[in-house]
Chain A
Amino acid sequence: MAAQVITVSSGKGGVGKTTTVANIAVALAATGSKVVCLDGDIGLRNLDVIMGLENRIVYDIVDVIEGRCKLRQAMIRDKHLPELYLIPAAQTRDKNAVSPSDMVRVCNDLRPDLDYVLIDSPAGIERGFRNAIAPADRVLVVTNPEVSAVRDADRVVGILEAEEKRAPALIINRLNPALVKQHDMLSAEDVLDLLGVPLIGIVPEDETVIVSSNRGTPVAQDLKSRAGQAFRNIARRLKGEEVPFMDMDKQAGIWDRLQKITGRR
Chain B
Amino acid sequence: MNDLTSLIQIKGLRDSLLVSLSDAPWEEQSAALLAQIDEQPTFFQGARLALDVGSQVLKVNEMVELRDRLSERRVSLWAVVSESPTTEKTAQLLGLATRISKPRPEEQQHSIEPQNLTDETALFLNKTLRSGTRVEFAGHIVVIGDVNPGAELDAEGSVVVWGRLRGSVAAGTKGNENAVVCALDLSPMRLQLGEHAFLVAERKESGKPEMASLRNGTIIVESWQTGSTG
Interface residues of A (CB under 8 A from B): 99-102, 104-105, 108, 130, 134-135, 147, 151-152, 154-155, 157-159, 161-164, 194, 196
Provide the residues of chain A in CB contact with B41, threshold 8 Å.
Answer: none
User: Closest approach, in angstroms, between the C-beta of A62 and any C-beta of chain B?
Assistant: 14
Provide the residues of chain B in CB contact with A164, threshold 8 Å.
Answer: 97, 99, 102
Docked-complex contact B146 and A101, CB < 8 angstroms: no
User: Closest approach, in angstroms, between the C-beta of A145 and any C-beta of chain B?
Assistant: 15
> How many B residues are at the interface, by size bracket?
20 to 34
**Interface SS of B by simple majority:** loop
Bound-state Cα–Cα, A216 to B130, Å: 37
A99-B71, A100-B76, A194-B148 known, 11 other contacts, Cβ within 8 Å: A100-B71, A100-B95, A101-B67, A101-B94, A104-B94, A151-B131, A154-B130, A154-B131, A158-B131, A162-B104, A163-B104
With most chain B CB atoms within 10 A of its CB, the pick from A135, A147, A157 is: A157
Bound-state Cα–Cα, A100 to B97, Å: 13
Provide the residues of chain A in CB contact with B102, threshold 8 Å.
Answer: 162, 164
CB contact list, B197-230 vs A, under 8 A = none
Provide the residues of chain B in CB contact with A105, threshold 8 Å.
Answer: 64
Bound-state Cα–Cα, A194 to B76, Å: 32
Docked-complex contact A101 and B77, CB < 8 angstroms: yes
User: Closest approach, in angstroms, between the C-beta of A95 and any C-beta of chain B?
Assistant: 13
Docked-complex contact B132 and A159, CB < 8 angstroms: yes
Q: Is B54 close to A, CB under 8 A?
A: no
Q: Which residue of B lies closest to A98 (CB)?
A: B71
Bound-state Cα–Cα, A99 to B150, Å: 29
Provide the residues of chain B in CB contact with A163, threshold 8 Å.
Answer: 97, 104
Bound-state Cα–Cα, A164 to B102, Å: 8
Chain B, residues 154-182, CB within 8 Å of chain A (1/0): the string is 00000000000010000000000000000
CB contact list, B91-118 vs A, under 8 A = 93-95, 97, 99, 102-106
